[in-house]
Amino acid sequence: MTFRERDVAAEGIDLRELSSVVLDLPEPWAVLESARAALAPGGFAATYTPTYNQLERTIRAFRSLGFEDVRAVEILERGLHVGDGGTRPEFEMLGHTGFLAAGRRTD
């Protein structure tokens, strides 16, 4: 597995036949066309966004670009207190940390 860091919002994605692209930026929808071109057929693009508005726009872009198997999930975080024979969830839970969205290039 290889990771590359690049300003894809300004420069696009210059690789091809990738199995996956992960985007964590304020406007992932603006990069999804470049991500789609970079993916091999069957490859996945995934995004992280912290707000509903960003998520909605991202999902619209996935669908309009012809991605399949598009889905979104909310990430919730709850800490665990781990001890020998006494593991339990923490009493307080952070209610929302963000949204993950993904789609697969099928052609």
HSE-up of residue 107 (Cα within 13 Å, Cβ side): 5
Domains delineated in the chain: 21-104 (3.40.50.150)
What is the rounded (10 degree) CA torsion for 73, 77, 83, 84? -10
pLDDT at 14: 93
Question: Angle 62-4-52 (CA atoms, 0-180°, nearest 5)?
Answer: 35
pLDDT at 91: 85
pLDDT at 4: 81
Tens digits of residue pLDDT in 56-91: 999 999 999 999 999 999 998 888 999 999 999 988
Q: Contact at 8 Å (CB) between 28 and 34?
A: no
Q: Which residue has the tokens 């999930």?
A: 73
Tens digits of residue pLDDT in 1-49: 788 888 999 999 999 999 999 999 999 999 999 999 999 999 999 999 9
**59 three-state secondary structure:** helix
pTM of the model: 0.85
Q: Which residue has the tokens 């860091």?
A: 5
The token pair at 4 is: 């590359």
Distance of CA 67 to the CA centre of its chain: 13
The Cα 105–Cα 86 span in angstroms is 45
The token pair at 52 is: 């509903």
